[in-house]
């Protein structure tokens, strides 16, 4: 199958699968990550097909929606790509990225050995910060019934993926537990540059949020 056709059939498959999502993992998240990944891949000289396929398939069976099972994502991606007779080397590269891409806790290093993986991870992380990142965090919190903020429930430092998986705190805590950490964990020069401004939007939002929370008195 030609590369363009594989990309378009994969996009249609993912769009259909994520049609009903309201947790910030909907098709338009995937579309933004794919466009960011494609842009980073061209800037950084990575393989564009692998980056676009990994971006398209990266949340198709996310552990957050599969009882914490982090093998569900790469497995679903492999089944799909095999059904489309994609090249085995492309399938392996894409599934390896999907297995590694997720944030796994403040204290956990996410090893990403390939340039393609670094482009996709940065693209996914760019969509977790800035104005869109703020909107997604509250969409996720609402979807899972989390409080918006609770001053009696401080943020936590998660030393392991297991601890991170079990967290259920307020959405504002997620900013300290993940979102504000992403800028310094970007892995490409382009990603680092794009993250700067989006990071400032998070900081400005939090300053305003707490100013309003504390009131004028």
Q: Which residues bind ligand ADP (CB under 6 A)?
A: 24-25, 59, 62, 101-103, 124, 128, 133, 136-137, 140-141, 146, 167, 171, 174
Nearer to ligand ADP, 71 or 82 (CB): 71
Least separation, in Å, of the C-beta of 146 and ligand ADP?
6
Nearer to ligand ADP, 84 or 163 (CB): 163
122 near Ni ion, judged by CB under 5 A? no
Nearer to Ni ion, 52 or 59 (CB): 59
Nearer to ligand ADP, 84 or 176 (CB): 176
Contact 108, 158 (CB under 8 A): yes
Least separation, in Å, of the C-beta of 207 and ligand ADP?
19
Provide the phi-psi class of 146: left if phi over 0, else alpha when psi is between -120 and 50, else beta.
beta
First-to-last C-alpha distance (Å) of the chain: 65
CA 128 to CA 213: how far, in whole Å?
Answer: 23
Least separation, in Å, of the C-beta of 54 and ligand ADP?
12
Residue 141 interaction partner, one of ligand ADP, Ni ion, none, beta carbon < 5-8 Å per kind: ligand ADP
Least separation, in Å, of the C-beta of 179 and ligand ADP?
6
Q: How far is CA 80 from its chain centroid? A: 20
Options 124, 129, 175, 177; binder of Ni ion; rule CB under 5 A:
124
CA 146 to CA 15: how far, in whole Å?
Answer: 27
Options 59, 70, 116, 177; binder of Ni ion; rule CB under 5 A:
59
Residue 104 interaction partner, one of Ni ion, ligand ADP, none, beta carbon < 5-8 Å per kind: none
Q: Which residues bind Ni ion (CB under 5 A)?
A: 59, 124
């Amino acid at each position: 199958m030609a590369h363009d056709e594989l990309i378009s059939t994969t996009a249609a498959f993912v769009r259909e699968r994520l049609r009903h999502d309201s947790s910030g993992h909907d098709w338009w998240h995937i579309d933004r990550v794919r466009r960011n990944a494609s842009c980073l891949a061209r800037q950084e000289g990575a393989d564009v097909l692998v980056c676009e396929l990994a971006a398209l398939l990266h949340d198709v069976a996310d552990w957050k929606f599969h009882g914490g099972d982090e093998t569900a994502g790469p497995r679903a991606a492999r089944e799909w790509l095999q059904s489309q007779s994609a090249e085995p080397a492309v399938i392996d590269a894409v599934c390896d990225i999907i297995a590694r891409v997720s944030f796994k806790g403040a204290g956990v290093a996410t090893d990403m050995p390939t340039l393609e993986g670094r482009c996709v991870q940065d693209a996914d992380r760019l969509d977790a910060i800035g104005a869109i990142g703020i909107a997604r965090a509250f969409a996720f919190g609402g979807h899972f019934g989390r409080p918006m903020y609770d001053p009696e429930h401080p943020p936590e430092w998660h030393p392991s993926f297991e601890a991170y998986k079990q967290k259920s705190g307020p959405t504002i805590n997620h900013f300290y537990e993940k979102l504000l950490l992403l800028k310094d964990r970007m892995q490409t020069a382009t990603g680092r540059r794009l993250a700067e401004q989006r990071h400032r939007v998070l900081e400005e939002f939090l300053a305003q949020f707490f100013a309003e929370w504390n009131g004028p008195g």
